[in-house]
C-alpha cells in the first residue's frame, strides 16, 4: 500500500509481515469490545457415541465474527490472545456461553455433554481455576457433563502445577480429555501423570486409518491402550463413511468430524439432536 504508492521497489515479504503485525495489534485492541458486544461466539461440533449411535456430546469451538474481517477461525487469533495473556478471559467467555447453551438445551429435554478447549498455559493459573469453579457452582451447571480438552503438544511449564490444577477440575466432576493425541512430545509421560478420562486421537492418524495399514495399527493399538487404562477414545477428523466403519470395527467410543457433522450454532445443534431423538422414538 504505502510502498506501492511511493513507487519504490518494495519487498513483498516485509510489507506483508508489517501489515499482519498491525492487523493483529488492532485485533487485540478490539478484544474487549468484541467480548462485550457478543462478536465472539461459540459453535458446537457433534460427537457421535458409537455404542448408542447417538450424538450425546459436542465440542465447543470459538469463533470471532468480526464486523469488518468476517468470521475468523480460532487459529488466527488464539495464539495472539495467548501471547497477550488474555486467554483466561476468552476461555471464561466461551465456558460461560457453553454453560448457558447447555442450560437451554436442557430446558428442551436434551442432555448434551460439552467439551471446551483449554490452553495448556492456563493450567499454571490458580486464578483461572478459581474462576472456572466459581462459574460452574454459580450457574449450578452439571460439572460431570463438562469436559476440558487439553492439547498434549503444548509443553506444560510446570507439570506438577498442571496436575494439581487438573486434579481440582476432576474433583469437581469435570472430565479431562487429551486433545490431538499422538502429535505431542512426552505422550506416555503425560498419560501416566495427568488425571485424564479420555484420549482424542489426532485427525492426522485417523483420516486415512481405513486405507493405510500403519495408521490403522496406530489407531487400533491406541484404542486398546486407552481401554486398558480405563479411558474413553474419541477419533477426530472423520470425513467419510469408510473411516467411520473402520472405527466401529476397532471399538472406538466416539467419532467426530465433518462426516458426522460440521460445527453448528447452539440452536441448530439442538435441532439436530432433537431430530435424532424423534427418529428413535
Ligand atoms: P481442536 O480442538 O483439535 O478442534 C478440532 C478442529 O478440527 C476444529 O477446527 C474443527 O472444526 C476441525 N475439524 C473437525 N472435524 C474435521 C474434519 O473432519 N476435517 C478437518 N479437516 N477438520 C475438522 P477449529 O474450530 O478451526 O479449531 C481449531 C483449533 O483451535 C482447535 O483444535 C483448538 O485447538 C483451538 N480452539 C478452538 N476453540 C478454542 C477455545 O475456545 N479455546 C482455545 N484455547 N482453543 C480453541
Ligand atoms: Mg479440541
Ligand atoms: Mg483436536
Ligand atoms: Mg487440533
- ipTM (interface predicted TM): 0.97
pTM summary value: 0.92
Nearest-ligand number for the alpha carbon of 201: 3
Cell of 187: 505422550
User: 70-72 and 146-151: which strand pairing?
Assistant: unpaired
Mutate to test the pocket of ligand 1, among 63, 74, 239 (most ligand atoms within 8 A of CB): 74
Rounded-to-integer distance, Cα 195 and Cα 232, Å: 13
Residues of the chain with pLDDT under 70: 1-25, 152-155, 280-281
Task: Determine the atom of ligand 1 nearest the C-alpha atom of 239.
Answer: 18
With a 6 Å cutoff on the Cβ, whether 73 touches ligand 1 is yes
Question: Which pLDDT score is estimated for 169?
Answer: 98
The SS3 of residue 22 is: helix
Task: Determine the atom of ligand 1 nearest the C-alpha atom of 259.
Answer: 18
HSE-CB of 202 using CA atoms within 13 angstroms: 12
Question: Which pLDDT score is estimated for 189?
Answer: 84
How many angstroms does the Cα of residue 8 sit away from the middle of ligand 1? Answer: 42
Cell of 128: 483461572
Mutate to test the pocket of ligand 1, among 34, 57, 61, 244 (most ligand atoms within 8 A of CB): 61
What's the pLDDT tens digit per position in 113-128?
999 999 999 999 999 9
How many angstroms does the Cα of residue 77 sit away from the middle of ligand 4? Answer: 14
Rounded-to-integer distance, Cα 196 and Cα 233, Å: 11
Question: Which pLDDT score is estimated for 77?
Answer: 95
Question: Which pLDDT score is estimated for 26?
Answer: 82
Question: Which pLDDT score is estimated for 277?
Answer: 74
Cell of 107: 430446558
User: Which residues, by Cβ under 5 Å, contact ligand 4, an ion?
Assistant: 180
Query: In sequence order, which residues have a C-beta less than 8 Å from that of residue 274 and are 6 or more positions away?
Result: 108, 110
Question: Which pLDDT score is estimated for 209?
Answer: 96
Rounded-to-integer distance, Cα 205 and Cα 225, Å: 15
Question: Which pLDDT score is estimated for 186?
Answer: 72
Which residue is it, cell 486467554? 87
With a 6 Å cutoff on the Cβ, whether 117 touches ligand 1 is yes
Evaluate whether 40 touches 34 at the Cβ level (below 8 Å).
yes
DSSP code for 260: T
Rounded-to-integer distance, Cα 263 and Cα 46, Å: 7
Cell of 212: 493405510
Q: What angle (nearest 5°) sits at the alpha carbon of residue 268, between those of residues 265 and 270? A: 105
Question: Which pLDDT score is estimated for 90?
Answer: 97
Amino acid at each position: 500500500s504505502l510502498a506501492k504508492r511511493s513507487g519504490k521497489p518494495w519487498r513483498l515479504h516485509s510489507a506483508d509481515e508489517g501489515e499482519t503485525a498491525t492487523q493483529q495489534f488492532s485485533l487485540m485492541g478490539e478484544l474487549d469490545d468484541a467480548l462485550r458486544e457478543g462478536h465472539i461466539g461459540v459453535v458446537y461440533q457433534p460427537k457421535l457415541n458409537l455404542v448408542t449411535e447417538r450424538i450425546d456430546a459436542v465440542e465447543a469451538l470459538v469463533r470471532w465474527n468480526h464486523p469488518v474481517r468476517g468470521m475468523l477461525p480460532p487459529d488466527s487469533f488464539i495464539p495472539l490472545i495467548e501471547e497477550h495473556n488474555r486467554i483466561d478471559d476468552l476461555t471464561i467467555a466461551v465456558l460461560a456461553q457453553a454453560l448457558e447453551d447447555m442450560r437451554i438445551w436442557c430446558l428442551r429435554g436434551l442432555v448434551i455433554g460439552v467439551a471446551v478447549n483449554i490452553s495448556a498455559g492456563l493450567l499454571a493459573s490458580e486464578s483461572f481455576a478459581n474462576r472456572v469453579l466459581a462459574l460452574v457452582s454459580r450457574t449450578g451447571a452439571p460439572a460431570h457433563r463438562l469436559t476440558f480438552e487439553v492439547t498434549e503438544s503444548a509443553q506444560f511449564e510446570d507439570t506438577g502445577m498442571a496436575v494439581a490444577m487438573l486434579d481440582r477440575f476432576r474433583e469437581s466432576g469435570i472430565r479431562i480429555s487429551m486433545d490431538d493425541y499422538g502429535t505431542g512430545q512426552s505422550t506416555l509421560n503425560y498419560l501416566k501423570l495427568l488425571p485424564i478420562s479420555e484420549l482424542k486421537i489426532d485427525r492426522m492418524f485417523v483420516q486415512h486409518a481405513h486405507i493405510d495399514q500403519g495408521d490403522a495399527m496406530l489407531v487400533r493399538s491406541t484404542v486398546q491402550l486407552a481401554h486398558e487404562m480405563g479411558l474413553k477414545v474419541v477419533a477426530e477428523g472423520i470425513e467419510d463413511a469408510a473411516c467411520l466403519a473402520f472405527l466401529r470395527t476397532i471399538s472406538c467410543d466416539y467419532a467426530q468430524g465433518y462426516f458426522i457433522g460440521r460445527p453448528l450454532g447452539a440452536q441448530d445443534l439442538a435441532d439436530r439432536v432433537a431430530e435424532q431423538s424423534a427418529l428413535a422414538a
